[in-house]
Structure 1
């Protein structure tokens, strides 16, 4: 028996060597990584996910990707897709089996073709958000998905990223005009949907099959994106509401007075603000000498029209609006200092990490439910786990919230994964069951939250999603996310 096992192992090793040699032949000399140290950045996730890979494949064009996919389908070699590896649910990193190939699109970044008249841009999937905006800026344009990370465009499509300015510009899905993808069936076939059209009612919108599906339905190789005019004026304020109910009163007032101009409405708890002031150099309490408030809201108005053309200054208009609301809805405000206030907002995640082990929640719900949810969730945490520090912030303007909490290092109990798991169930039950929200507002689905997908998504939706995944990837070789029913994979 031992001799036979050794023979089978040697046979597998020989076949694997042949497979890797065949794949290497499809790439240039920098196209395949095998060394464990070189592979380390590709197998370690930004927050979750730490596995092993058979090899890392780094193609430079769509034809190489088509060849890789065709070969892997024939040889039944599984692939996990990866862009800039900034995802937060482990959907772009291999598992611990060591049986997956990482298909990295980081070198697929030659093309950025701007059509300024059409306000569109054709990009390779490996182009990063910063590279895209650097290319758009000379044309007076930008891609308005505002994130703390610098992801690739392909990864942004796969996760359907949103960001802080979704309330004005929408998420990636709303700004995607066209797409190109390599299919698993027929293996290596190119699906070209790269039309730069805003109106195209000629059948199903097939490009949307690849949006928000974590790379499980095909390999995105290029996209046509809608660009927007760069703002010619902005107005920023950090506002202290009278109480939690006043946050939504403030939102309604701003949308009534500035329906086309409200670009961001970001809630920040006092705990987060205090952490930033204590841990991030050169950022203090913007309300000093007054103490940090219990809660505040970062507001941004923006317009592509100049004050001269529009006949109005947004900052003056915002100041007048806040003055009108003072006392009844708000009790304090800092107006202006936009770069400083946005730096504060983007520093929240880093500051919170300094407080202890973060227990992160990326949730959304109807905006009308946010106040009631927050009150109930704070009470739940305080009654069950009083040593936890709730440090929440997020995109209240679009119904999103990062209801994060920290398990401090000096807590009376050491970090306990069982307690955290029970807490997650309780919070998600509130979000999804009681307040009809989502347990994954922006981050998508991956191994980190796969179990909650099966727990909360309806059986009929899972069945249909699984049928689509089986149709597009009948051998289930692509990715580490399964959208069908639990136990079927």
Structure 2
């Protein structure tokens, strides 16, 4: 049971009565119905790649872990309707491969796609690197099948673009982290397969220039801009230090770099030429100082590996205080400058590892001290660090959780930033669907009310 009782980062460790591994929706419903009858909490788990402890059971050992890895079939591919019906335990990589086999694209793309599952992706409303063009996981869903907290099955597997027949119930379960029910299958949107792709690593003078370069790229290339990532020097240096065969793409050690990808389903488009022309314009206008364009799939993969290995390099380096935040794209430069100044005023030698999806305003902003003995004390002041970062995010109209969810990690922190009205509505929905409070307890919400407990905090 051990692999199911700890999260990927090793930050949370729990206990459970059992790990149950159903292979069908009927079996999931039977397990949930039995747990509801005996007041046993249920913690759903997909690939267990989450970063906020949302799939880890509590330490009391009262819950079962419902692992969905065997519920992994591709039920149907409808190429004419551009949809695919897939079960929750299917890995994201297997889903992408099934779409490609039908000459289509499923665009959600994450560094953990070989092990994360679509049920977990939907339960956390995963983002990834292609949100700029295709949107979050929420925007890729047409229909859902879910097991409710009492064991009933809701079949909402409709592959319709238009269905204006009342409340959009699927949206309740997407991003709810298993606290309202268990997603067992989904109807997902497919897109035309990509025939032209071009990737570049670009040195930019500063984050403000990166934002202006993004605007230029979108004006010059339109929706072909699939991804636009920013990588700070500290983040790249960690990859170069810890990941074998990594190489710095550009000379001069630029403080900030952008990773840009264009893609197009049309075979006639010369994406590389389009990217080169746009980047030349960016250099002329001072938004970029140097660039390298991949001339093979292997070179493009090597550039993407630099970005995708940042989290692993940080894990190898040691513990850091991690933030998954979003602000309006226009305010990213202001956030980075003000956060840096405030943090260095308190801790002059703080190491700031900043990277992420600048195209949609989502930054991963992670902090540590270079010396291990200093870092232990620094991590012990996480609450003070969070207050600086999260309060600034709130002032700038942002969110303290852009794509990783709340889980256990930010369950209490969110109370400072959501209004009483918002939290009240969330608790009302929780009580309406899960009156016994058995679905993934202790995640997302700070308190719940079980049947017969009124408003007692439990």
SS of 2:132 mapped into structure 1: helix
- 1:117, distance to aligned residue in structure 2 (A): 1.1
> Is the aligned partner of 1:83 residue 2:46?
yes
| Contact 2:235/2:355 (<8 A) preserved | yes
C-alpha distance after superposition, 1:3-44 (max 9, x if no partner): xxxxxxxxxxxxxxxxxxxxxxxxxxxxxxxxxxxx001101
- 1:178, distance to aligned residue in structure 2 (A): 0.5
**Match in the other structure for 1:347:** 309
| Contact 1:120/1:225 (<8 A) preserved | yes
Q: Could you say what the CA RMSD is over the residues aligned between the two structures, in angstroms? A: 1.5
Separation in structure 2 between the aligned mates of residue 191 and residue 143 of structure 1, nearest angstrom: 25
> Is the aligned partner of 1:319 residue 2:281?
no
- 1:57, distance to aligned residue in structure 2 (A): 0.9
Separation in structure 2 between the aligned mates of residue 314 and residue 413 of structure 1, nearest angstrom: 45
C-alpha distance after superposition, 1:364-408 (max 9, x if no partner): 011111000000111122121123211110000000000112233
Separation in structure 2 between the aligned mates of residue 101 and residue 394 of structure 1, nearest angstrom: 35
**Match in the other structure for 1:393:** 355
**Match in the other structure for 1:330:** 288
C-alpha distance after superposition, 1:319-358 (max 9, x if no partner): 1111122142211111123222111111111222333322
> Is the aligned partner of 1:101 residue 2:59?
no
**Match in the other structure for 1:242:** 205
Partner residue of 1:153 out of 107, 118, 137: 118
Separation in structure 2 between the aligned mates of residue 427 and residue 152 of structure 1, nearest angstrom: 30
Q: 5+ unaligned residues in a row in structure 2: which ranges?
A: 449-455
C-alpha distance after superposition, 1:68-93 (max 9, x if no partner): 11111111111111111111111111
More deviation, 478-487/129-138: 478-487
Separation in structure 2 between the aligned mates of residue 441 and residue 40 of structure 1, nearest angstrom: 29
| Contact 1:462/1:484 (<8 A) preserved | no
- 1:469, distance to aligned residue in structure 2 (A): 0.5
More deviation, 107-116/386-395: 107-116
C-alpha distance after superposition, 1:221-274 (max 9, x if no partner): 111111122210011111111333211110110111112111001000011112
| Contact 2:320/2:379 (<8 A) preserved | no
More deviation, 135-144/48-57: 135-144
**CA gap 1:71/1:485 in 2 versus in 1, 3 angstroms:** closer
> Is the aligned partner of 1:477 residue 2:442?
no
Separation in structure 1 between the aligned mates of residue 375 and residue 411 of structure 2, nearest angstrom: 28
Partner residue of 1:358 out of 279, 297, 320: 320
**CA gap 1:67/1:98 in 2 versus in 1, 3 angstroms:** same
Partner residue of 1:439 out of 392, 396, 400: 400
More deviation, 151-160/399-408: 399-408
Q: 5+ unaligned residues in a row in structure 1: which ranges?
A: 1-38
More deviation, 153-162/411-420: 411-420
More deviation, 174-183/356-365: 356-365
**CA gap 1:97/1:258 in 2 versus in 1, 3 angstroms:** same
Separation in structure 1 between the aligned mates of residue 307 and residue 434 of structure 2, nearest angstrom: 41
| Contact 1:463/1:484 (<8 A) preserved | no
Partner residue of 1:178 out of 131, 143, 146: 143
| Contact 2:45/2:68 (<8 A) preserved | yes
Partner residue of 2:2 out of 40, 47, 69: 40
- 1:416, distance to aligned residue in structure 2 (A): 4.3
Q: Point out the structure with max Rg over C-alpha.
A: 1
> Is the aligned partner of 1:231 residue 2:194?
yes
**Match in the other structure for 1:220:** 183
SS of 2:399 mapped into structure 1: coil
- TM-score w.r.t. the length of structure 1 is 0.88
**Match in the other structure for 2:215:** 252
**Match in the other structure for 1:202:** 165
Separation in structure 2 between the aligned mates of residue 360 and residue 412 of structure 1, nearest angstrom: 17
C-alpha distance after superposition, 1:406-441 (max 9, x if no partner): 233445464344412211111100111x11100000
C-alpha distance after superposition, 1:171-192 (max 9, x if no partner): 11100011011112xx211111
Separation in structure 2 between the aligned mates of residue 326 and residue 260 of structure 1, nearest angstrom: 21
| Contact 1:233/1:314 (<8 A) preserved | yes
- 1:142, distance to aligned residue in structure 2 (A): 2.6
**Match in the other structure for 1:22:** none
Separation in structure 1 between the aligned mates of residue 247 and residue 446 of structure 2, nearest angstrom: 48
